[in-house]
Structure 1
């Protein structure tokens, strides 16, 4: 019987750029652009400075880091680039997998390609796309259940996708790719305890996944063997991480190269947890109602599925007064209240001064969370919001499918606009335009066109 890892490896060795439809390649370029953009936006934050200091103390290297003039080893750069892309929680998500697929995928292939003069942007795209395709399918298999068990699928699944992306870029055989996945199983990690303490460790998850994939592929290339049934085995991924969940069959992976999950990756409109986006959009619309008055809010009822509620609504006492920017990004009560007051959620609404606005915190304390029977989770991140005003007016709206979802995607032009919003304040308009052109122009076909333009901090 063919294992899941063998099915994946067989397909991954056979798919070339010519097998990937043009529209998929174009969308992948724009996902790559979005990832570079949000990475540059994060590149000189306090958390980036701390991470770079820690990584630079381990070992030197000449691999570029997004938005920085410093370089690191392949391993260090994989961690740093994953952190930069994911740092603001503004990076893309495959919704059905509930996984941030680009952050680890791109960080891994950048390190794999670094130093090579023969790797084209087409080669880079193939590795990047395959990493996304594998990451997405592994998460799709279990309907968002990793979060429910306390695991962050971005870190857990990203290691396997990264191993495939790096392995494909490095020319591994099918047998070696099987071993790479088996090895990655011992490296994959990422737990959600940060939610209870407001710690920033989630930022490290995709970078560590990229680093895990990088090492797994390198070890497999050297002849190190990994278990074949790393997904479905008695102590494989699904049975260890989900305990009571049977492993999926290999059938889910037989359409690799035929169905492209890259087209279903959602680009974020807000730099917050994806589970909150419907509520932010609803809040900004409700405040436009003629009856709305922020100072007259009496109560707010937010309905959300129980699984995402564990992430953005619990423990409720911490969500009402976020202790940090990262806390705020994962607080449905705070973000709803801030959106009701300001009509937007940007980096400005998450900074220290904004988090201490007493009228916003007072409104957040008025939020009651209920289970949403109508939610489409995990197929979409639904939201249902009711705002009751002291004068008796009741404002209500439900959004079953969040903006950015595969059925409501941000267009490629909107992705470019988001890129400019992230990059122009950091690097200026001219360099932003040069990077954008290098990545999205189909005539640009060298990895250097992407790397050199994006890594001059």
Structure 2
């Protein structure tokens, strides 16, 4: 039973089994998530979600990370924080499964640890468990399911359930029931992208909520399908006709975890644009390239990038995050693509729009072959034809933030502070950063979190 193997893995995993390197990358994942969550809480879609959920009241069990000391139910805190952490498209990505795992794995851990007074070591183990299960489920249905289904909302629900089960302390039998209940709630369709609608944040919030709900239901004796992944009418076969079921268990318990090969974002937009963005950033710096120098830009991409973010005329900030043309043109002008490059008053810039009109996106068999050979490579090739006759080109397999081209802890701290300080101020942000840096020393996360926010 494949689902049972994953449930057994989650129940058996302990902090003491984790290497120093795995603990460090796990803390980096949590810190990255926390910064994006805090700043993301200020976005319009999240304010709508938070207002609706908190107006309903409920027992103040867990913290909503939105700049104040407000608490709500464990379920709603996971929903609010999960949604917030996916609102900027600045969150991490596990490339092979194409899941923003932190947005669905960490919110349940924070909410339950806050409610149940769990330790930092328990939280670290739970995050590793969630990344492992979520990543494996994603890989079992990628790339075939990705045209219709947003993997963070679908496979990510299993990651949320695994992390919730682990931090709640469920045994293997109850974790199996938890996964069954979570799988039947998995959802998330890509249709929203055509209009730049707000649904993507809902996917992460609902997955986080479903994971917490499933864990508490399982603890209370509620049952779910015990073959929810591999069953005839289970998740994997519902997603794709021929799922890669071997991906669910190959190498399980070999001591190498999915979180060990996680990617971080230096740019606040869809990860599928990052290879082209990094190439433009490098060519711009090396050649003093400016917008007025450009005759034409050609972007050679794989099929996923082409159907997902080939958007030559995005109409709103969210659409711009999913327009490779806007992102590359913006990088050419500014030299970076942080949160402020996607503000409503910025996205209509005439210089950027002019470069976009000179940019074409081409689905390229050679680039597709790179991804087919190694799903961790979300590669692209950038070709810039200049008015003076120069042709500048660069293929990027691993942009900044991928494991072979990593972000350092100090770079992650800088990113965190840039996002958290505008919401919480310098002192509180620094305390939060220190809490995550030394998370294994926390005996009662609820107490330590409250001290940081006091």
Report the TM-score, using the length of structure 1 for normalisation.
0.93
* 1:453 Cα deviation after fit: 5.3
CA deviations on 1:230-271 (whole Å, 9 max, x unpaired) are: 1111111111111x2235137625523622111111111111
2:145 corresponds in structure 1 to: 146
Whole-Å separation in 2 of the counterparts to 1:229 and 1:361: 50
- Residues in 1 aligned to 2:161 and 2:290: alpha-carbon distance in whole angstroms: 52
CA contact (8 A) 1:163 1:180 kept: yes
Displacement, 1:138? Answer: 1.1
Aligned to 2:320: 328
2:137–2:248 contact (8 Å) kept in structure 1? no
- 1:411 is aligned, of 408, 411, 425, to 408
Secondary structure at the aligned position of 2:366 is classed as coil
Higher deviation after alignment, 408-417 or 287-296: 287-296
Match of 1:51 in 2: 49
Give 1:115's aligned residue.
115
Q: Distance in 2 between matches of 1:307 and 1:125?
A: 32
Partner of 1:126: 125
- Answer yes or no: is the 8 Å Cα contact 1:181–1:230 preserved in 2: yes
Return the alpha-carbon distance in structure 2 between the equivalents of residues 449 and 366 of structure 1: 55
The SS at the match of 1:355 is coil
Q: How does 1:75-114 map to 2 (within 5 A)?
A: 75-114=75-114
Q: CA shift at 1:18, angstroms? A: 0.9
The alpha-carbon distance between structure 1 residues 61 and 311, as it changes in their structure 2 partners (threshold 3 A), is farther
Superposition pairs of residues 294-443 of structure 1, within 5 angstroms:
294-313=291-310, 319-375=311-367, 376-377=370-371, 378-441=375-438, 442-443=440-441
Structure 2 residue runs without a partner (length 5+) = none
Deviations 1:358-390 (A, max 9, x none): 221121121111123333323211121111122
Measured at CA, do residues 104 and 246 of structure 1 come closer, stay the same or move farther in structure 2, by a change above 3 Å?
A: closer
Which of residues 278, 283, 296 is equivalent to 1:281? 278
Distance 1:271 1:449, change over 3 A: farther
Alpha-carbon shift at residue 321 of structure 1 (Å): 2.7
Q: Secondary structure at the match of 1:210?
A: helix
The equivalent residue for 1:74 is 74
Residue of structure 1 equivalent to 2:6: 8
Question: Which residue does the alignment assign to 2:245?
Answer: 248
Change (3 A) 1:23 1:288: closer
Helix, strand or coil for the counterpart of 2:21? helix
Distance 1:133 1:251, change over 3 A: closer
Q: Which one of 170, 173, 178 corresponds to residue 171 of structure 2?
A: 173
RMSD: 1.9
Change (3 A) 1:345 1:454: farther
Find the counterpart in structure 2 of residue 316 from structure 1.
none
TM-score of the superposed pair, with normalisation by structure 2: 0.93
Superimposed CA distance per residue, residues 140-198 of structure 1 (whole angstroms, 9 cap, x where no aligned partner): 234433312x1011111121111121112222221211111111111111111111111
| Equivalent residue in structure 1 for 2:235, among 237, 248, 256 | 237
How does 1:149-164 map onto structure 2 within 5 Å? Answer: 150-164=148-162
1:30-63 CA-to-partner distances (Å, cap 9, x unmatched) read 2111111111112223233222112123343312
Alignment of 1:174-193 (within 5 A): 174-193=172-191
Per-residue CA deviations over 1:261-312 (Å, capped at 9, x if unaligned) read 1111111111111011111111122223547341242211101001122111
Q: For residues 66 and 360 of structure 1, do their structure 2 counterparts lie closer, same or farther at Cα, with a shift above 3 Å needed?
A: same
- Cα distance in 1 for residues equivalent to 2:170 and 2:343: 45
Q: Which portions of structure 1, spanning 4 or more consecutive aligned residues, are displaced by more than 4 angstroms?
A: 453-456
